[in-house]
Structure 1
Amino acid sequence: MPQRPSRASRRAALQALLLAACGWPSLSMAGRQIEEPLSDAVRTALSTAVAGAAPPEPVLPSAQHRLDYERWLQHASQRLTRYKSHPVERQEFLQTLWYEARRAGLSLSLVLGLVQVESAFRKFAVSTAGARGYMQVMPFWSRLIGDGDESRLFQMQTNLRFGCVILRHYLDRERGDLFMGLGRYNGSRGQAAYPQAVLAAQRQWQQDVD
């Protein structure tokens, strides 16, 4: 169980929450995912998870699933307008995020909240630690589980695929503990500022369908 945050940590967390509420990423929160050794089994599983391509349209099993998807897409697109003004770009981004989040077994609002905090929905964002794209994926992941081409982390689907797979991996490592899993994703495991900022942003994205 994590220790009670210090006064300085709580102050940083409050600042992070305010920044998340405004939709601004905080450079002071920028972390560095730690490159940890992976067993052959884990490396193979993650490499398999990032391989392949998404279908051009979501495959939905029923009319109700289609209705739920369309409702979510409409709500999320309205919220995303402040970050992405072009409707086609918004739809492409949300359709891809929906697919990758669902594929990884992640909440849609959680992934949207994380992208908001990490990059403010900027495709070509680069952190001071060198993390890239929407979900601020560290380049070493391309070498560990990808094809070694770091430039592909600026491609929308590749970035969202890697980010969701990595977040799922960290959550599994923390046995579903969202606070610790998010901290590990940011490279600030056990500190409150980043998880609280992502969870605050997530609440802004939560809808009837998640």
Structure 2
Amino acid sequence: MAHILIVEDEPKLAQVLSDYLRRDGFDTHICGDGADVMPWLAEHATDLVILDLMLPNIDGMTLCRQIRQQHQPHSRTLHQTPIIMTTARVEEIDRLLGLELGADDYVCKPYSPREIVARVKAVLRRTALTAEVSTAPFSLDLVVEPNHNLLRVGERRVELTAVEMRLLQVMVGSPGRIFTREQLMDQAYPDRRLVNDRTIDSHIKNLRRKLNALNAEHQYVRSVYGAGYKYEPTP
């Protein structure tokens, strides 16, 4: 039975969400104060965190950052735990910042409890799939550690953002295939937000810079003029 931590300071909303999740077979725990979250996580294992942005004492954005930087002495290290952020604030900067900090999904209030349950199931399925290839070779020299958002070549390693890791995983899944910017946008942003071509280009630019720091002799991600981008492993 998967365990879900609900971090929500509206008691009625938190209880309704808990009831819906329990009906679908999940175990739940509710934290209504941001200051209680990290101490609870230090003592308990959880499979996913539903994290509200606006909380008393410590806000959700800060908690998301702390979770991604910490480790947990249970079956899963804490920084790998999936996070679904919820908020009534819909400004684009909040969406972008939340996902760049490592949130796996983002839901705006008001939301249907059924939608949250569906998103929880979807995120847990993606997480289970990723765990099966926690250390997978991308080519003869490049190795990815998706649960840690790390890439390495030999002893050299670099850390990727969540979006950069998603982009790379999409491309390496089909070496040599050309992905359009629109296709990459759909894969990079689970919340289906509207972003322009320059946003993807910027992420690709940063990704290529980090890959170059690992191996300057091979260009892993190539641009195809007028078409998009593709991944090419080393020979």
**TM class by shorter-chain length?**
under 0.3
Q: TM-score, normalised by structure 2?
A: 0.25
Say which one has the larger Rg: 2
Question: TM-score normalised to the size of structure 1?
Answer: 0.27
Which of the pair is proportionally richer in helix? 1
Query: Which is bigger in relative contact order (C-alpha 8 A, separation at least 6)?
Result: 1
